[in-house]
Amino acid sequence: MTYHSGSRAVQDRVGVRDLADHVGQAIGSGIRPVVAAFLEQQPMLVVGAAVPAGGPVWASLLTGRPGFVRATGPRQVSVAGGLPAGDPLTAALATAGTPVGAVALDPRTRRRMRLGGLVRPTLRGFAVEADRVFANCPKYLQKREAYETVADRVPGAPRHGGGLTPSQREFVRAADTFFLATVHAHGADASHRGGNPGFVHVDPDGGLNWRDYPGNSMFLSLGNLATDPRAGLLFLDWTSGAVLQLTGTARTEFAPDGERTLRFTPAEAVETPAASPLRWSPPAYSPANP
């Protein structure tokens, strides 16, 4: 099943069902050689899931030497290593059968690959038995020419809270990229959102909102939210490696002029200093950014 009822409802509301059917032909369950080669070049992977099934949705960052993510079968991706201590998705990735979504993003080439499937723990980490694999266009993806691994960078203790602190609000406002995890009755999805700094707004009550820019017309994330409002957001400081994870609920507002706005209400925040050992070069903002 390429699309479920939630995605179909949004596609019909926007009037892009035919286009979505055409674009959806790119979604497959097999891992082609070009996909396998791309995954093995990446030093980072974002994974989204619910903890536990029926619980809050989170998005988490995994990093490693290129090759830590690799295709090990025609429909299987293996990930070596694990999450930083205290990450909210640790238990989910250690539980067989957990539905997960993942996105591998390469800022150097402005390419990204998404997959979804079921988790199977392994001796070295975990594997995902993929039921959907597809690429996205480079829209709204900031280019970063290079990265270095900071060998002596050690993740700090996670800081938990029920709302955003003043410094976390600034973290969000300064972001040019974040990752969005959503779920549906048949699985989970992780996707990328990008724009110029300030494209994510913080409301006075601590909620977030951002404009939904025109994309591939699949409406996988918005379709998921139409049937299940749970969502997880991940913000990354590309220089310091700090990560801010939020879980809560989101909804889509449709304006008469066709513009769409996502509104996210956070329920819990986890900030981890130096969670990533990667330090990326400054961005060149996407020419597609409004």
Does the pTM surpass 0.85? The reply is yes
**pLDDT value at position 121?**
96
**pLDDT value at position 246?**
98
Cα gap 258→256, rounded to integer Å:
5
pLDDT for 2 beyond 90: no
What is the DSSP secondary structure assignment for residue 178, as one 8-state letter?
E
Cα gap 37→55, rounded to integer Å:
34
**pLDDT value at position 252?**
98
pLDDT in tens, 223-264: 999 999 999 999 999 999 999 999 999 999 999 998 999 999
**pLDDT value at position 119?**
97
**pLDDT value at position 85?**
84
What's the order of all strands across the beta sheet hosting 69-73? Answer: 57-63, 44-50, 99-106, 111-121, 125-136, 76-80, 69-73
pLDDT in tens, 167-223: 999 999 999 999 999 999 989 999 999 999 999 999 999 999 999 999 999 999 999
pLDDT for 52 beyond 90: no
Q: Are 63 and 43 in contact (CB under 8 A)?
A: yes
pLDDT band at 1 (very low <50, low <70, confident <90, very high): low
Looking at domain 5-284, its CATH superfamily turns out to be Electron Transport, Fmn-binding Protein; Chain A (2.30.110.10)
pLDDT for 45 beyond 80: yes
Domain locations along the chain: 5-284
Could you write out the DSSP letters of every residue in 9-42? HHHHHHT-HHHHHHHGGG-BSS--HHHHHHHHT-
pLDDT in tens, 124-164: 999 999 999 999 889 999 999 999 999 999 999 999 999 89
**pLDDT value at position 29?**
87
Q: What integer is the mean pLDDT of 30-56?
A: 95
Q: What distance lies between CA 51 and its chain's CA centroid? A: 16
pLDDT in tens, 54-101: 899 999 999 999 999 999 999 999 999 989 888 999 999 999 999 999
**pLDDT value at position 141?**
98
